[in-house]
Amino acid sequence: MLISQLQARDFRLFGNLLLDAHPRFNLITGDNGAGKTSLLEALHVLGRGNSWRVLPAQLARDGTQAWQVAGQIVDPSGAPPDLLKLTWRDREIAIEYGEGELALSELVRRLPLQILDPGMHRMLEEGPGIRRRFLDWGVFHVEHRFMPTWKRARRALRQRNAMLREGGTPAQLAPWNRELAESAEQLSAQRRAHALEVEARSQALLAELLPGERWQLRYSQGWDADRSYLEVLEASLERDRRHGLTMSGPQRAELGFYTAHLGTHADGEGAAKAVKGRISRGQQKLLVAAFILAQCWIVAERGGRVPVLLLDDFTAELSSAFQSRLLQALLAYPGQKFVTALELPEAMKNTLDAHMFHVEHGMLRPRANG
């Protein structure tokens, strides 16, 4: 899917914003605080229904109580474009598409969108929740059974936890054990398959972006891999009752990032070690970019819609060599891209078929390429 035009009203710094987008590459430059990231937030709202930084109420321009973001959405198949509009007022967001309304899950499915932002190192440094969300976004777009399976597992987990807190007997817990075990096993299989696919697809990207090491993804399902989840739930009943909480399961699933130097062992690969605390911020940025790009390629090929990619502060943490590598990977990706930078990066000068814009004090204007 493509965003041919972005509009926003009373959003962050923008009283009125209008951007006519290039189908492949859009670069937005401007000083710190000028509105570059706010523009990407408007795009993120268009595809996700929220900002990755703040709550919806904080997106309203100072002195206003509502905001609206809209976009002309083009299907590459040749169907006429439709207007997608999100309006926030009275603490609620209304989503309209064409002549009808959309649920949030349908919005996310219809306009897949991913972001690489300056805080992407959190993918490697923070708790497992952020990595599960990354994984589940991809599974959602390529596996039609994911959402009902995820909802089923969440409901069963919630019911089991409620019964644990109420002191439920083994007989009372047994049906929820079975329901949770069955749905969690299915959910875990979907997650594991996607993690393996992302790792395999990322290797060519990583060889270009970060050569010299072997980079791995390892999926842990959240319970003992040598036993069925039903066995684990039954064996841990007393512990779970003491805590009033199911202590193992898909809500504890983890995605680990590992590296091993090539050529250090007889088999050509060193012992794998977790990347946290071992690589620079620039390496972290390229590593996460490789896995996100790999995931977007997979969604494009299997999900039927090519994700839009947002990249905030392109040059941050990256040497000129790293910038050139990342730019080549971005140009090879077929989806639409929106990229911000303080100024026109050297790597992009005179090389891009793109639309370029400059933002200053909430005002956007086109700029010349070069």
pLDDT tens for the chain, 370 residues long, are: 799 999 999 999 999 999 999 999 999 999 998 899 999 999 999 999 999 999 999 999 999 999 999 999 988 777 788 899 999 998 899 999 988 898 999 999 999 999 998 888 888 888 899 999 999 999 999 999 999 999 999 999 999 999 999 998 999 999 999 999 999 999 999 999 999 999 999 999 999 999 988 899 999 999 999 999 999 999 999 999 999 999 999 999 999 999 876 544 444 455 678 888 788 889 999 999 999 999 999 999 987 899 999 999 999 899 999 999 999 999 999 999 999 999 988 888 876 789 999 999 889 999 876 5
Q: Where are the domains of the chain?
A: 1-112+313-370
Token pair for residue 120?
A: 């992407």
101-to-10, 23, 33, 83 alpha-carbon distances in Å: 22, 25, 34, 11
29 close to 85: Cβ distance less than 8 angstroms:
no
Q: What is the structure's pLDDT at 39?
A: 95
* CA nearest neighbour of 210 among 282, 306, 125, 274: 282
Q: Where are the beta strands (DSSP E) in the chain?
A: 2-11, 14-20, 25-29, 66-74, 82-89, 92-97, 100-101, 113-116, 213-220, 254-261, 273-274, 308-311, 337-341, 355-360, 363-367
Q: What is the structure's pLDDT at 270?
A: 56
Q: What is the structure's pLDDT at 116?
A: 92
Q: What is the structure's pLDDT at 257?
A: 92
In a 3-state reduction of DSSP, which class is residue 365? strand
Q: What is the structure's pLDDT at 368?
A: 74
User: Which amino acid type is present at position 191?
Assistant: R
CATH class in words for 1-112+313-370: alpha beta
Distance between first and last Cα of the chain:
28
Strands lying side by side in the sheet with 113-116: 113-116, 308-311, 337-341, 25-29, 355-360, 363-367
- Backbone torsions φ then ψ of 266, nearest 5 degrees: -60, -30
Q: What is the structure's pLDDT at 267?
A: 45
Q: What is the structure's pLDDT at 369?
A: 67
CA dist., res. 173 & res. 7, Å (int): 52
Nearest 10 degrees: Cα torsion 67, 47, 152, 155: -30
* CA nearest neighbour of 312 among 116, 130, 120: 116
Name the β-bridge partners of 254: 220
CA dist., res. 253 & res. 245, Å (int): 16
CA dist., res. 79 & res. 305, Å (int): 14
| H or E stretch covering 143 | none
